[in-house]
A and B are shown apart, each in its own frame.
Chain A
Amino acid sequence: MQNAILAAFLGGVACATVGVFVVLMGVSFIGVCLAHAAFAGALLGVLVGFDPMLGAFLFSLGTAAIIGPLASRGELNLDTSIGVLFSLMLGLAFIFMGLMPGPKTQMLGLLWGSILTVSKTDLIWLGIVAAAVVAIVVLFYKEIQAVIFNREIALAVGIPAGLIIYGILFLTGSTITVSLSPIGGLLIFSLIINPAAAAYQLTYSLKKMFLLSAVFGVVSGWIGLLASYLFSAPSGAAIIVTSSIIFGLAALFSPKRKVKRWQAKDEPSRVL
């Protein structure tokens, strides 16, 4: 259980932090795409007989590296490029699954995740990636902020916007890869989107959005674990439902949704 609590903390911080990029850059679908790429890569590893983690890493980073050039060379919308790669990865995953002989328990584990039985190696990788994500956000905060605001303006002031975007994609791919085993390919998407989307409802400060998102990610993990223990529910699903409830509450009480009422008595009439 201690390992599960730690995995929820590290996974929550890493996923929710990259989620801020994903939400603000309007590429929500990238989470699903990279998760399926990592899943397909891990399946190839299981099928051929090499470390599934290595397969997941290569596939998700390879996909992250192709998304940008595919969009610019094919003159596609970024979301279309992500959709094309998502369908390819889904197809590959099904092919690898079909070719796999015998029981498919390990494969299903990658799909649903198993945070309660997370291994020490998984924890170490999760810790390394979570630390790298936080360190990169702190070190390159101003460059990231400029690119999030406007890529053309960032380029115009001499910030290597392309490099920053590839860095963000690399971080997203790495986070998804190391979260595949504990959180699961299907559920990871929600842990990337929901905490960041909830934080987006509550603040106009990017720094606060990063902090709130990480807090929501960790809290989702911990409350989800508790709920799974209390109600004997699947842990991954409980974490995702919790993060969705947090988003719902944030959206409900969002100060950004408040509409200022105006009354004629608020200001003197200028009509003569």
Chain B
Amino acid sequence: MNNTIVKIENAVVSYREDVALRDVSLEVRRGEFVGIIGPNGAGKTTLITLINGLGKLVQGRVWVLGHSISKGSINGIRKRVGYVAQLQNIDPRMPISVEEVAMIGRYSQLGAFHRPGKADRDIVDEMLKLVGVSHLAKRPIGHLSGGEQQRVAVARALAQEPEMFLLDEPTASLDWRAQKEIMELVKQIHETRNLTTLFVTHDLNVLPDTCDRVVLMKGGRIWQEGKPEEMLKQDTLSQLYDAPITIKEHEGRQVFLKAG
């Protein structure tokens, strides 16, 4: 029980007349890598944003890092949770550089009235180096390619020195090479930094093979969950996506194809 880092109990979330999550319960243990998959509109993003308080609960309860999510606790929790969203549309003329964007991650640790010091700059430099964009540090963020911007987003989240890492479709809208690079990066970071990682994707082919558990979502509910080898089967996935899916082996890795 002490090992549980996230506990979601009977969560219901609705936007206007649409119910995005219906009575969802989930537990995540410290150090786990959980993949959350499902078709568009299944409630994956809503589920992940409950953990950092960006999603609003209508019913149910959520505990994160030992605290029940409330107005009083949420900012403290957010400081300990790194979040990478989908690729954002950034104005190419935005007057903010790559290193300034990564530094936003440090702001969570600094608090009001404190300016970043040498230690913060060193951490940002280290994270930019880790994700392979240190040579772009002075460039305006809007001048980078989609893949580079997502690397900076990962660096920004890591600069927070988080205990948990939430990734919401970090590879969406990226080309195959950038997707592969981000997947490798996430895998490496999870393994070397002892993080608890939740990775949301609708694209089965970008699901890192380090997943300890896969949660299958459909129609605002957790449809099934279990070990990847139990969940990632042709029949199960075909039912999940309401489309025939074929699984092939390629260079030791499963490749998911839409059949027919």
Quick one: which of A148, A155, A200 contacts B93, CB cutoff 8 A?
Answer: A200
Nearest B residue to A155, CB-CB: B54
Q: A26-75: which have CB < 8 Å to B?
A: 75
| A residues less than 8 Å from B104 (CB atoms) | 142, 145-146, 149, 153-154, 157
A102 proximal to B (CB < 8 A): no
With A142-B115, A157-B107 as contacts: A152 and B54 at CB distance below 8 Å:
yes
- The answer for the CA separation of A149 and B116 in the assembled complex, in Å, is 17
Q: Is the CB of B112 within 8 A of A149?
A: no
Query: Which of B73-81, B238-246, B250-258 lies on the face that meets chain A?
Result: B73-81
Q: Is the CB of B95 within 8 A of A155?
A: no
A77 proximal to B (CB < 8 A): no
B85 proximal to A (CB < 8 A): yes
CB distance from B140 to the nearest CB of A (A): 4
- The answer for the CA separation of A110 and B94 in the assembled complex, in Å, is 35
Q: Is the CB of B95 within 8 A of A205?
A: yes
- The answer for the CA separation of A24 and B76 in the assembled complex, in Å, is 28
With A157-B79, A157-B160 as contacts: A142 and B107 at CB distance below 8 Å:
yes
CB distance from A28 to the nearest CB of B (A): 14
With A152-B54, A153-B85 as contacts: A206 and B107 at CB distance below 8 Å:
no
0/1 string, A145-185, CB within 8 A of B gives 1: 11011101111111110000000000000000000000000
> Which of the four size classes fits the interface of chain A?
20 to 34
Q: Is the CB of A143 within 8 A of B101?
A: no
Nearest A residue to B81, CB-CB: A156
Q: Is the CB of B107 within 8 A of A159?
A: yes
A272 proximal to B (CB < 8 A): no
| B residues less than 8 Å from A160 (CB atoms) | 75
With A152-B54, A153-B156, A156-B54 as contacts: A142 and B94 at CB distance below 8 Å:
no
0/1 string, B109-139, CB within 8 A of A gives 1: 0101101100000000000000000000000
- The answer for the CA separation of A139 and B111 in the assembled complex, in Å, is 12
A262 proximal to B (CB < 8 A): no
A229 proximal to B (CB < 8 A): no
0/1 string, B69-103, CB within 8 A of A gives 1: 00000011011010101001000011111001101
| B residues less than 8 Å from A75 (CB atoms) | 16
- The answer for the CA separation of A24 and B108 in the assembled complex, in Å, is 22
Q: Is the CB of A152 within 8 A of B85?
A: yes
With A158-B75, A158-B76, A204-B140 as contacts: A146 and B107 at CB distance below 8 Å:
yes
Q: Beyond the given A157-B83, A205-B97, please list 5 additional residue pairs across the A-B interface where CB-CB is below 8 A.
A: A158-B78, A204-B93, A204-B94, A204-B97, A204-B140
24 contacting pairs across A/B (C-beta < 8 A):
A24-B94, A24-B95, A142-B103, A142-B104, A145-B104, A146-B104, A149-B94, A149-B141, A150-B88, A152-B54, A153-B83, A156-B81, A157-B107, A157-B108, A157-B160, A158-B76, A159-B107, A200-B93, A204-B93, A204-B95, A204-B96, A204-B140, A208-B95, A209-B95
